[in-house]
Amino acid sequence: MSDVTATAPWKALEDHRDRLESVSLRQLFTTEPDRVSALTVPAGDLVIDFSKQRLDTPVVQALLELADTAGIAAAREAMLSGAHINVTEDRAVLHTALRLPRDAQLIVDGVDVVADVHAVLDRMGEFTDRLRSGDWRGATGQQITTVVNIGIGGSDLGPAMVTRALRRFHDGPATRFVSNVDPADLTAALADLDPATTVFIVASKTFSTLETLSNATAARRWLVDALGEDAVANHFVAVSTHTERVVEFGIDPANMFEFWDWVGGRYSVGSAIGLAVMCAIGRERFAEFLAGMHTIDTHFATTAPARNAPLLAGVIGVWNASVLGYRSRAVVPYAQDLARLPAYLQQLTMESNGKSVRADGTPVVCPTGEVFWGEPGTNGQHAFFQLLHQGTEIVPVDFLGLARSGDDLPARDGQTSMQVLLLANMFAQAKVLAFGRDADEVRADGVDEALVAHKVMPGDRPSTTILAPELTPSVVGQIIAFYEHQTFVQGVVWGIDSFDQWGVELGKTQATALQTVLAGDEIPDTGDASTDHLIEVYRTLRDG
């Protein structure tokens, strides 16, 4: 593969980094009067303001040239048309096909995948209609009140995040999510549940994941102990690509919802993996969620580079992480219902682009894979924002805010609307991070000289602000697709296969090998002294 850091746009970016080193955001806002409109981009219902990033027009031009040189247009076309761009697994990458409208057609490897997608969506709709209406009954004839999704990674984070985000639209059975092989997770989830009114969704692309199979087996035992073996058919459904393993586990294939190996786990919430979401909000709302994703897919596929929101976000991430050296990105949704978004994005972005070799197996040529983390605002302000404002580490922030809240309490008795307070806090953080407060301004406030240095805010800390009207199914879908596509853009620039995850595999294999050693009593000989010692300490502690 060619070396992206040896290209002319990359060299230009390095020069721009040096040129901008002593140029403040305050100066850039003065010298570029059109900056805000040039760097504010609409995409679907989202309005994305990149103007507080540390860049100017020549940087944006160089970043777009970089994307062009990396072949973004051809790569995007290859993905959308079903080429096998996941080269290490020889698979197509077609999460965008999951949200194509029913009348679309996409033939991949000789199959119309849109027809397949809608056939499964219809089956999901029939199942969830029955569950939600009370037509689907448990083994004792009772109505189902709770759905427990058992899955991990992409088979958990997507449905868990979206169900939480769409709390206001939740009019179906209660949903719970069990992922960790820590028995505490399942125990806590089942503590107050009645087997007779509980349905389990076992969600696993491979149907071989240790955590999911362990939890599913334990859940099955819990159910069978109470209701007998025959109850499994009414209380267990599966979502997987692997029918044989589902049958082997004891779930009727009639109760299985299929998806395909061209859907990556972390890109799968729009597939049958979203079944728990559909149980919660119903098939019509789920269709709106998919349509929201499709809106951003279309924007990404058709919008000119300079106004293409995921493309800009992706290359700006490269600029921050690989050129400026800002290695992590905080995601701070000013929406409590998006509390799980940072965790969801961690898998999406870090499992995709946390790679040290490129698609052809050669080493990467620059730092890749931003570290994503975050918490909802305003809570984050009272935890890690001190470091964001005044620490030695510069962390670009994605702020996400909603113009309307379905929960807002009207202004009354002199109290401001809480939603207004929430957004005022978000705008204030982005403003202070960008523009800071110098010593003269601090002194002008009459601050004691001994405290001036402590109260100076350095500024020039980059952020992007994403605004949406309110948290609807469509908007949640749009936010997800916006991040999916920027992750893709970064992978293309870095030359990475963003759709495999070999790094996770060795840890899984080693865990399987070590479980036998932990359970036994032979002197451990695992090949390293530290692990051997820790196992002995564990056994001593375990045996009291």
Q: Which residues bind ligand F6P (CB under 6 A)?
A: 152-155, 204-206, 209, 212, 265-266, 351, 501, 504
Name the residue whose CB lies closest to ligand F6P: 265
**Catalytic residue flag (residue 382):** yes
Residue 193 near residue 146 (C-beta atoms within 8 A)? yes
CB of 506 vs ligand F6P, minimal distance in Å: 11
C-alpha 311/C-alpha 309 separation (Å) is: 5
Q: Which is nearer to ligand F6P, 23 or 504 (CB)?
A: 504
Active-site residue, selected from the candidate residues 65, 211, 258, 351: 351
Query: Could you give the CA distance from residue 511 to residue 337 in angstroms, rounded to a whole number?
Result: 34
- Cis amide prior to 378 (ω within 30 degrees): yes
Q: Measured from the CB of residue 508, what is the shortest distance to ligand F6P in angstroms?
A: 8
3 state DSSP class of 292 = helix
For ligand F6P, the closer CB: 265 or 396: 265
Angle 153-155-159 (CA atoms, 0-180°, nearest 5)?
105
| 508 counts as catalytic | yes
Select 460 or 500, whichever has its Cβ closest to ligand F6P.
500
Closest distance to ligand F6P from the beta carbon of 519 (Å): 23
For residue 40, how many C-alpha atoms fall within 13 Å in the half-sphere facing its CB? 10
Cβ distance to ligand F6P smaller for residue 204 or 419? 204
- Output 177 or 399, the one with its CB closest to ligand F6P: 177
* H, E, C per residue of 312-368: HHHHHHHHHHHHCCCCEEEEEEECHHHCCHHHHHHHHHHHHHCCCECCCCCECCCCC
d(CA 47, CA 13): 26
Pairing verdict, β 236-240 and 198-203: parallel
Least CB distance to ligand F6P at residue 273 (A):
8
Active-site entry in 126, 508, 533, 536: 508
| Minimum gap (Å) between residue 159 Cβ and ligand F6P | 11
User: Are 497 and 491 a contacting pair, CB within 8 Å?
Assistant: yes
Q: What is the DSSP letter of 143?
A: B
**Coil, strand or helix at 108:** strand
Neighbours of 31 (CB within 10 A): 11
The C-alpha angle 267, 271, 201, rounded to 5 degrees, equals 110
Q: Shortest approach of ligand F6P to residue 177 CB, angstroms? A: 13
Catalytic residue, from 382, 454, 505, 533: name it: 382
Toward ligand F6P, which CB reaches closer, 154 or 376? 154
Residues marked as catalytic: 351, 382, 508
